[in-house]
Amino acid sequence: MKEIPKFRLDFIKQEKHLLLPTTTSIIVVQNLYDVLFQYAINAEKEKKLKYFINLLESHIKSKTRAPFSIPLEELEFLDDGLQELKLLNWLEAPVSVFELFLDESVDEEKKEKTFDLLQDMIIFNFVKDSSRIYVYPSNLTIY
């Protein structure tokens, strides 16, 4: 049995997210960008839209088993564009946010073993630039 370091998951909160439909590709991202660009009516909204699209592209390229999702509140800048996403079969779902604690002395190889174990137990994605993870409901289709 492989040695897995001790870790802890602390529940932080639950958020409403929009989840990308299961049929995805870079072409979908480009089409989505074209559809949503009409809602980026100023420089700030355009910057937020480009950030969103970059997150989406990174997720697709990562080929993870977990879905892509983003908190609804981060997409409020789209205004009517949110409805557009829902019409494109984006799913609104509750996502739990957990903080992942690992001993700082754990090397990268052991961290990977921990992440592999977690992937076998739950469907999750890392929150960019943090020690938090998004944990998805078990009744979602596994990606």
21: its two tokens = 């439909």
* Residue-level pLDDT at 87: 81
25 vs 78, residue with greater confidence: 78
Q: Is residue 19 part of a domain?
A: yes
DSSP state of 141: P
* Residue-level pLDDT at 128: 84
Q: Is residue 2 part of a domain?
A: no
Of all residues in the chain, what percent carry a pLDDT higher than 70?
A: 88
Which residues, including other chains, have CB under 8 Å from residue 143's CB and lie 6 or more apart?
A: 22, 64, 65, 66, 67, 123
* Radius of gyration of the chain from its Cα atoms, rounded to whole angstroms: 17
Domain that holds residue 70: 7-135
Counted domains in the chain:
1
Q: Is residue 143 part of a domain?
A: no
Q: Hey, which of 22-31, 66-75, 104-113 has the most confident mean pLDDT?
A: 66-75
Assign 101 a pLDDT band (cuts: 50, 70, 90): very high
Q: Is residue 140 part of a domain?
A: no
The pTM assigned to this predicted structure is 0.78
Assign 12 a pLDDT band (cuts: 50, 70, 90): very high
Mean pLDDT score, 79-88: 84
CA distance 11 to 124: 13
Mean pLDDT score, 66-81: 89
Q: How many CB atoms neighbour CB 14 within 10 A? A: 11
- What is the rounded average pLDDT for all residues in the chain? 84
The model's pLDDT over 18-41, given as tens digits with 9 standing for 90+, comes to 888 766 555 666 667 677 777 777
122 vs 22, residue with greater confidence: 122
CA dist 128 to 32, 43, 71, Å? 21, 23, 13
Q: Is residue 88 part of a domain?
A: yes
